[in-house]
Each structure stands twice: as C-alpha cells, then as structure tokens.
Structure 1
Amino acid sequence: MATKSADLRAKTPDQLRDQLATLKKESFNLRFQRATGQLENTARMEAVRRDAARVLTILNEKAAAAASEA
C-alpha cells in the first residue's frame, strides 16, 4: 500500500529513517525473490521504490527547513 505524503510529513525524522530502513529491507527481499523466480507481485517492487523515494524527499524537505531556520 502506498504511503501518502501527508502521512509522512506528520512523522518525525527518526520515524522516517526507520520507515526508510524497512522499505530498503523489503526492496532487498523483493529483488532476491525476483532473482530466484519466486516473486509473484512484480508491481510491489515499483511501489516500494517509489515509497522509499517519497520518504527521502520528505526527509530532505525537513532537513532544508531545519537548516533555513538555523
């Protein structure tokens, strides 16, 4: 299930980093399944990749906002 950007913006940077780590682990597992021929839902790979990019974008936005305040 895709994560909405508004939900991500409500999270703290630590929560976002935890979620990013989870998404990267899932991405690794999906790549491993694809390599061994066990992957059934190929669309999930793209969704995980996009969710990870979305989390990184929000983290960068929060970092830029914190830098401009300082």
Structure 2
Amino acid sequence: MRAHDVIARWPCVVVSVVVLAALPAGCGRSRPPMVRTAGTVTLDGKPLPKVRLEFTPAFAGFGGDLLGMA
C-alpha cells in the first residue's frame, strides 16, 4: 500500500470513528414520564363523537415536539 493511498483514506477513517463514537449518545435527553388518562370529552353535557385530542407535555425541559393523541 502506498503512502498516497493511506492519506487518501484518512478522512473516511476519521468520519467513521466520529460516527461510531456518537452512536451511543442517542438522539437527546430522556422522555418525560408516561401518564395514563381517562375520561369523556363533552360539549353542552353531551359526548362528542369522532374527536381528536392532542396532549402536549407541560414538563420543564420538554418541548412541544412530544405529542400524544387519543
């Protein structure tokens, strides 16, 4: 193997090592705790059919990117 070949492959080796080292870090912080909910959505005292609910966490440090639907 010539020295030129080794030097030419060096950026690929560096990028591979950086990517492999970053994989265990994951995508960020942990999720907020899960909370079970139950109930009936009503309007004027009558259940609403075919309603889409969106729950946004109110935990400090967690943004609106976390969304639960029912």
Instruction: Give the TM bin, normalised by the shorter chain.
Output: 0.3 to 0.5
Q: Structure 1 length as normaliser, TM-score?
A: 0.32
TM-score calculated relative to the size of structure 2: 0.32
Structure (1/2) with the larger strand percentage: 2
Higher relative CO (CA 8 A, sep ≥ 6), structure 1 or 2? 1
Give the structure with the larger helix fraction. 1
Q: Which has the larger radius of gyration?
A: 2
